[in-house]
Structure 1
Amino acid sequence: MEYNKLVAVSGLSGLFELISSKNDGAIVRSLNDKTTKFASSRIHQFSHLESIEIYTIRDNVNLAEVFNAMKADGTALPDVKDDKAIKAYFQKVYPDMDFDRVYTSDMKKIVKWFDLLQKNNIEVKLTEAEEEAAAEEETPAPEVKETPAPAKKSAAKTQEAAATEGEPVKKAPAKKAAAKKAAKKKED
């Protein structure tokens, strides 16, 4: 099972592996009990774990960074029923988190999800495309000097110029008229 196939489904607890998607929903497999079910998109919303970001005091970070910090810390996970213990845990593990905007309920979800990932031996890593995009953001792109191309007069500009000079404005032929002329030429 890969991290990039995991989704959170609104209204359903836990995490799910996205097996297949359809126009009206998706087929998902629960990480808790390995049951497979259809989740309708009319009732549920799907959030890929890779797309979830966490508020920090600097820039928002991907949820995978928080999971990796939790894994690197190695501290035992707090009891999800103890709000103070959860907040203290995240203050120790990820102190850059913006605790005014990240609610305790969100922190509880993160702890539950991390526990599920650990139980299912899922390696938390972003896909290569997202890693490359993050690397491009960190390194500035070299400046490219462009030489301006010679300007071509468009039909709209020539009409504007004629209108300002007081000449009558000629309208461009409509597409239908051009199509009729082309069809007439083919007949001849």
Structure 2
Amino acid sequence: MGLEKILSISGKPGLYELSAQTRGGFIAKSIIDQKKIAVNVRHNVSLLSEIAIYTYTEEVPLGTIFQKMFEKEDGKEAISAKASKKELEAYFSEVLPDYDSDRVYQSDIKKVIQWYNLLISNGFTDFSVEEKDKATSEEKTTSGEEE
């Protein structure tokens, strides 16, 4: 399962895994307690694979940031999202040194760290799936052009 199946639903705590599609939306399963909920078009939903963090030069995908955190922590959880503002900013600047401090707020940093810790504590460790998907689609494009 990659980040393209992991959701953040505004107004609902934690993260959810996309389970099935319905007529008016889809079914999502909580990563924390495995409870299923129905999600419809009124909910504001974000796929983690579509989220990126601003830097001074580009937008870095969340999967890349998670992978850097994973390598930094040797596969363990990061600092607590309840740490002080200075600790959070210092930690995040170690992971992503050129993040745009004017456009990335403390609440964003907290959320990224919270999500990372939640995923790690629930056994999710493969954050590089997006790159594999891109490589696969590029191979298909290249092989299609050769024919």
Report the TM-score, using the length of structure 1 for normalisation.
Answer: 0.64
Give the corresponding residue for 2:144. Answer: none
Distance 1:79 1:7 in 2: 21
Alignment gaps of 5+ in structure 2 = 140-147
Distance 1:24 1:134 in 2: 33
Give the corresponding residue for 1:11. Answer: 11
Q: Percent identity?
A: 34
Structure with bigger strand share is: 2
Distance 2:59 2:66 in 1: 14
User: Closer, same or farther in 2 for the Cα pair 1:134/1:7, shift >3 Å?
Assistant: farther
- Larger relative CO (CA 8 A, sep 6+): 1 or 2? 2
Give the corresponding residue for 1:125. Answer: 128
Give the corresponding residue for 2:35. Answer: 35
- 1:124-181 Cα shifts (integer Å, max 9, x gaps): 123434346799xxxxxxxxxxxxxxxxxxxxxxxxxxxxxxxxxxxxxxxxxxxxxx
Give the corresponding residue for 1:45. Answer: 44
Please tell me whether residue 77 in structure 1 is matched to residue 78 in structure 2.
yes
Match of 2:110 among 108, 131, 147: 108
1:22 Cα offset (Å): 2.5
User: Closer, same or farther in 2 for the Cα pair 1:100/1:26, shift >3 Å?
Assistant: same
1:55 Cα offset (Å): 0.3
Describe the SS at the equivalent of 2:129. coil
Alignment gaps of 5+ in structure 1 = 136-188
1:71 Cα offset (Å): 1.0
Q: Is the 8 A contact 1:7 1:16 kept in 2?
A: yes
Q: Is the 8 A contact 1:26 1:41 kept in 2?
A: no
Task: Give the aligned CA root-mean-square deviation in angstroms.
Answer: 2.3
Distance 1:61 1:2 in 2: 17
Report the TM-score, using the length of structure 2 for normalisation.
Answer: 0.81
Q: Is the 8 A contact 1:80 1:108 kept in 2?
A: yes
Give the corresponding residue for 1:97. Answer: 99
Matched AA of 1:4:
E
Describe the SS at the equivalent of 1:130. helix
